[in-house]
Amino acid sequence: MNWSLVSRLLAYLALLIGTAMVVSLPWSFPVFGEAPVFERATLRGMVWSIGICLAAGGVLAALGRQSSDDTLLRKEALAVVGLGWILCGVLGGLPYLLTPVYRMPGVPMTSADAFFESVSGFTTTGASVLSQLEVPEGIENCELAARRGEIGYIPRSVLFWRSFTHWLGGMGIIVLFVAILGQLGAGGKALMRREVPGPLSDNVRPRIRESAMLMWTIYLGLSALLAVTLMCQGMSVFDSLCHTFGTLATGGFSTRNSSVGAFASSGIETSIIVFMILAGTNFNLYYLLFHSSGRQKPGWAEFLQRMKQFVLDPEFRAYLAVILVSISVLAVLLHTTGVYQSTGATTRHAAFNVVAIMTTTGFGTENFAVWPAFAQSLLLLLMFVGGCSGSTGGGIKVIRFLVLWKVLKLEAERAFRPNLVQPIRLAGKRIDESIARDVVVYFCLLGLIFVASWGLLLALEPTSQWDGNSSEKLVDCGSAVAATLNNIGPGLGVCGPHGNYTHFTDAGKVLLTFLMLLGRLELFAIVVLLIPAFWKTQ
C-alpha cells in the first residue's frame, strides 16, 4: 500500500470539503434569513469547520510528500475511495457539531447524529435525524426556545450546507468514477468496472476526461435550469437552490418539514418529477447525445440519430417502463381504496412518490406510510430497483436487473438443453461473462448484507422504543435498512416521509450510516476495507 500517495489524495478531498463550506457562509447573516440571535454562533461554527478541514488537508498533504511513485494501482484506488468517503463524512459533519443545531427540542446533535446527517448528504440518501426544519410562527427567540425544549432548530447556513452536500455527492460520484480515477491508471479503471457498465460505457471510457467535462457541464446546466424554473413558480432563492441540489443529486433533503408537499403546487411537483427522471438517467447517454466528434459539431441528422439511440437504449426504456407501470398500478390502487377522491390528485401523488422512490430521491408530498399495505410494499420494492447505471441515483440499478433476467433465462434453458452454448446479449451486444458473474455476486452480497443488517439493527434497538410492539419494530427496522442501503432516505413507520431517524439509538445510526456508504459505493469499495489482507504491503 502506497500510504504517501493515499494520504496526498485524501488531502485533496479534505481541502475540497473545506473550500466548499465557504459557499454556506453568507447564509449565516440575518440579511439572508438567519435568526439574529444565532448569527454570531453560527458564523463562528462554520469558520471553525472550514479551518479544521483545511488544517486536516494540510496535515495529510505533509504526510504525502514522501511519495515518489504516483502510480495509482487498484488497491490504492479502493483505499482512496473508501477512506475518502469516510473522511468526507467526518469533516462534513463538523457544522452540525460546532454550530447551534438542535435535532429535536432541547436536544443538540451528537457525534453519531452529525456523522449520520453528513454521510446521508454526501451519499445522496436523504435520511435525517432532524425533527424540525422550520421555526413555528410566533417564536421570536429561537435560541432560547430551542434550549428550553420548545422547538428544534437548524441554522440556515447549516441547512444550506446540508443540501449542498447532496449536490457535491451527486457530482462527486461522477467525477470520482469517470474523471479522476479514469486518469490514475489501471486501479481507477478497475474500480469503475464495479459499477455495471451500460451498453455505451466502452465507447465513453477511452475519452474519460472529455466525457467527464461534458457530464459536469450537463449537471450544471440542469441544476441552473431547475433552480430558475422553481423560482419562477414562486419558490425563494434559498428553497429553490436547496431543492435543486436534492433533485439533481437524487438526494431528498428539503427545507420544509413536509418536504415538497409543503408548497402544495402541482407545477413545482411536475418540474421536480421531470428533473428526477433526468437525474436518474445514465449520464453516458447524455455524453452520446451531445459530444462532438473531433472539432465537428453534430448536425441535425446526426443529432436525430443519436436521439434515436438514446430512446432505444434498453436500460432507459426499462427504466421508463417500470416508472409508468408502477404509477398506473399505484394510482388505480389509491383510487379504488378511496385514499383520494379525484383522479387528478390520485395521479399526481402516485406519480411523484413513485418517481421519488424509484430514482432514490426520497422527496415526499404525502405520508405514504399510512397508505394501504400493498401500496407500501410496491414502494418498498421500488427502493431496491433504483435508477440507471451511471446516474446520480442509488439502488441496485435497472441494468443489473436486465442482466440478471438474461442470466436466469439462459440457466433455465440450460436445464433442458445442458449442452447449450449461447452468449448473453443486451441490445445486440455481447455481455462479458465476468460482468454477468459480478451481477450475480452483487445480488447475493446485497441480500446477505440486508438480512444481516436487519438482524443486527433489531438486536441493537430496544423494543421499549416501540412501546413493546415487536411487529412495528420489525417493519421499521427492515425498511430503515432498505432505505439506507439503497440510498432512498424515507422508509416506513417512524422513518417514513413525515418521520425521521432520530428514534434510533446511536449504535443503530452508526450501522445505518455504514449501510449508506455501502450502497453509494456499490458495496466493494467499503467491504474491502474490512479484509485484513487488503492492508498488507504485498
What is the Cα–Cα distance from 536 to 127, expressed in whole angstroms? 35
Strand partners, 102: 108, 153
Q: How far is CA 23 from the centre of its chain?
A: 21
Q: What is the 3-state secondary structure (H, E, C) of 231-264?
A: HHCCCCHHHHHHHHHHHHCCCCCCCCCCHHHHHC
DSSP 30-64: GGGT--GGGHHHHHHHHHHHHHHHHHHHHHHHHHT
pLDDT at position 351:
94
CB-CB neighbours of 66 under 10 Å: 11
What ranges in 300-342 are assigned the alpha helix state H?
300-312, 314-336
Q: Per residue of the chain (538 residues), give pLDDT as tens.
A: 777 778 888 888 898 899 999 999 888 887 666 666 667 788 889 999 999 999 999 998 888 777 666 666 777 777 888 888 899 999 999 999 998 888 888 788 999 999 999 999 998 898 899 888 877 777 767 767 777 777 788 888 999 999 999 998 886 654 554 455 455 554 445 444 444 333 335 544 445 556 666 777 888 899 999 999 999 999 999 999 999 999 999 888 998 888 898 898 899 999 999 999 999 998 878 877 776 665 566 677 777 887 888 888 888 999 999 999 999 999 999 988 888 888 888 999 999 999 999 998 888 888 887 888 888 889 888 888 888 887 888 888 898 898 888 888 887 887 777 777 777 777 677 877 777 888 888 889 999 999 999 999 999 999 888 877 788 888 889 989 988 998 888 887 788 777 789 889 999 999 999 999 988 887 777 777 788 877 776 5
To 10 degrees, the CA torsion angle through 311, 314, 320, 325?
Answer: 140
pLDDT at position 112:
94
pLDDT at position 227:
96
What is the Cα–Cα distance from 398 to 118, expressed in whole angstroms? 27
Q: Do 500 and 129 meet the contact criterion of CB atoms below 8 Å apart? A: yes
> What is the DSSP code (8-state) at residue 466?
G
DSSP 73-93: -HHHHHHHHHHHHHHHHHHHT
Q: 3-class DSSP state for residue 351?
A: helix
Helix (H) and strand (E) counts for the chain?
Answer: 22, 4
CB-CB neighbours of 214 under 10 Å: 19
pLDDT at position 209:
57
CB-CB neighbours of 461 under 10 Å: 20
What is the Cα–Cα distance from 175 to 211, expressed in whole angstroms? 10
pLDDT at position 120:
93
Helix H or strand E encompassing 425:
strand 425-426
What is the Cα–Cα distance from 368 to 49, expressed in whole angstroms? 37
What is the Cα–Cα distance from 83 to 86, expressed in whole angstroms? 5
Cell of 339: 385514499
What is the Cα–Cα distance from 61 to 64, expressed in whole angstroms? 5
Q: 3-class DSSP state for residue 298?
A: coil
Q: What is the 3-state secondary structure (H, E, C) of 119-175?
A: HHHHCCCCCCCCCCCCCCCCCCCHHHHHHHCCCCECCHHHHHHHHHHHHHHHHHHHH
Residues 6+ apart with CB under 8 A from 273: 351, 352, 355
pLDDT at position 67:
62
What is the Cα–Cα distance from 417 to 411, expressed in whole angstroms? 9
CB-CB neighbours of 56 under 10 Å: 21
pLDDT at position 47:
93
What end-to-end distance do the CA atoms of the chain give, in Å?
A: 7
Cell of 343: 383522479
pLDDT at position 522:
77
> What is the DSSP code (8-state) at residue 481?
H
Residue 237 identity (one-letter amino acid): V
Helix H or strand E encompassing 358:
helix 343-358
What is the Cα–Cα distance from 194 to 524, expressed in whole angstroms? 8
What is the Cα–Cα distance from 335 to 343, expressed in whole angstroms? 7
What is the Cα–Cα distance from 62 to 324, expressed in whole angstroms? 53
What is the Cα–Cα distance from 334 to 374, expressed in whole angstroms? 10
